[in-house]
Copies of this chain bind each other. A is one copy, B any other.
Amino acid sequence: MKRLQRLFSGRWMQKTYTLSVLNQQNSLSNNCSTEDVKKESNLNCHLFVGATVLAYLSYKLFYEEYVAYLKEIKTLVKPGALKENLPNYTLKQVAEHREREKRIWVTYKDGVYDITEFVDAHPGGDQILLAAGASVEPFWKLYGQHHADFVYEILESLRIGNLVDDQKPSSTTSDFSDPFIKEPIRHAALIPASEKPFNAELPPTLLVANFITPNELFYVRNHLPVPEVDPKKYELEVDVEGTNKSIKLTVESLKKLPKHTITATIMCAGNRRSEMTEVKPVKGLSWGVGALGNAEWSGVLLRDVLISMGIDENSNFQHVQFEGLDTDPTKKPYGASIPFWKAIDRKGDVLLAYEMNNEVIPRDHGFPVRVIVPGVVGARNVKWLKRIIVSNNESDSHWQQNDYKGFSPGIDWDNVDFSKSPAIQELPVTSAICVPSPNQTVTVRDGHITAYGYAWSGGGKKIIRVDVTIDKGDTWHVADIIQQDSAEPPQHWGWSLWTVQVPVSKNAKEVEIWVKAVDSSYNTQPESFKNIWNLRGVLSNAYHKVPIKLQWD
């Protein structure tokens, strides 16, 4: 076994590099390949620059052994398929195996695997432990090089059982006193900000590992319990206030309308709130930099639906309201609204989405239909969409009227009047450093340190520049945009991933990295949280500052 591991370890590395070059035209999740890229390199590629050198050496060393090994392979396994005569395990049982003492289990499709002995040999290091007690699939979407025959071989050699579905709602066992009893099981890599309702973000390092965030790892922002929806019975009602215009749409009828796909980042208004809290406490979930994700959303343009009902750009409506199937204890649904012009605009791209990254939208993200309002705060992207109302009034919901609004730093809970501020719609420009982490010890190589992160702006604006400094603004370095969508403003909805190499003064022992982004309207970020502090801790887009320790190579 140990000899096998050493072999695999070497093989992994050389194969990894080969695959990352050869397969880039095929792998959907390998972001070196997308035509949309501004630069062909991406974070994976960068991570593998170092690996390349090692891989080349490994290739020389292991070549003969590898050729021999290839000859041994008679037939390729079908990875993750059900295997008879193996024990069945539920996700809940798998989730109990997250430490060496209890053995470390993971799942892949229908397979359950004990990877305890493999962990040390994993070329990606400890990252594999993020999948402990859960599925490796989202990580394999992040790091596309796993989709290789020799990786499947390793995996199946560790097979211990089959995964059985324990997600089915079981009304007989429901505890009716807990409205959260029927929540979906979430991936263990998500860091919860609250459990009930469930809210969670991805660790920053994983966040920027891929231009597209896998569904299982997409940040979750729920205000209420996740509703259980039977897609066969599902109906979306669209009403036009003051008229008798009203239609009902099923999932099937939506799928018969023209399908439209956009790449859009959805971000919570409270993303990066934890940094603002350091100035003075605020009310809200203590999000880090991970309350956002970037996905491909497919569905029907709300504009197309409205036009089919006889509503167009000339109609004199002011707002479009959305209601979700998620309700509070008084049965009042989650609600929000957007300006009518955004809904009807030819370039608004407001979607009634039924697919997320080419899969059915997961329960946590609005199954079976949610509205995607690109460029606009997450709170208006109503999930589990039940009803749309074309209206002259904003939604009267709590979340539209008395939450998700910005205020001056001089306003606090004793003098706030929520009617004085407009509901947040388009979000301002922001950015964050995701690698390295705060207080991490970073190795200086060739006199430089390397950082990675994201930048994004609302309203269809494109990021045109990311500036980084490690001397409090005396010297600014322009980061390289690793990847961004090819769509031009005002329809540029996705984030931009960036990297930068910054020269470090000799013998420096610690530095603080600052980042700011500039969007296509040349708006940029404010410097400090003190001057944008607000009682709800929203719109927390000041410079992201990450102190690190330095270790010289």
Asked if A135 is at the interface of the complex by the 8 Å CB criterion, the answer is no
B531 touches A427 (CB 8 A): no
CB <8 Å contact, B521 and A459 = yes
Q: In chain A between 520 and 553, which residues have their CB closer than 8 angstroms to a CB of chain B?
A: 520-528, 530-532, 539
Chain B residues near A341 (CB-CB < 8 A): 347, 490
* Contact (A410, B475) CB under 8 Å given A313-B346, A421-B465: yes
| A422-B531 contact given A408-B465, A478-B411, CB 8 Å threshold | no
Assess whether A427 is in contact with B521, with CB atoms less than 8 Å apart: yes
CB-CB contacts below 8 Å: A438-495 with B = 458-459, 464-465, 467, 473, 475-478, 488-490
A428 proximal to B (CB < 8 A): yes
**Which chain A residues in 181-210 approach chain B with CB under 8 Å?**
none
For A346, the closest partner residue in chain B by CB is B313
Interface of A, helix, strand, loop or mixed by DSSP: loop
Contacting pair A524 B526 (CB below 8 A): yes
Contact B477 A410 (CB under 8 A): yes
| Chain B hits for A532, CB < 8 A | 524
In the complex, which residues of chain B have a beta carbon less than 8 angstroms from the beta carbon of A524? 428, 526, 532
Quick one: copies of this chain in the complex? 2
Chain B residues near A346: list those with CB within 8 A.
Answer: 313, 346
Residues on B with C-beta less than 8 A from A422 are: 464, 520
In the assembled complex, the CB of A106 is this many whole angstroms from the nearest CB of chain B, namely: 42
Q: Does A516 sit at the interface, judged by CB under 8 A?
A: yes
State how many angstroms separate the Cβ of A490 from the closest Cβ of chain B: 7
**A473 and B426 in contact, given A521-B458, A521-B459, A525-B526 (Cβ under 8 angstroms):** no
Besides A339-B488, A421-B465, A426-B521, 18 other A-B contacts (C-beta < 8 A): A339-B489, A346-B346, A406-B518, A408-B477, A409-B476, A410-B475, A410-B476, A410-B478, A421-B464, A425-B521, A427-B522, A428-B523, A429-B523, A458-B521, A521-B523, A522-B539, A526-B527, A527-B531
Q: Identify the A interface with B (CB < 8 A).
A: 313, 339, 341, 345-347, 406, 408-411, 421-422, 424-429, 458-459, 464-465, 467, 473, 475-478, 488-490, 516, 518, 520-528, 530-532, 539
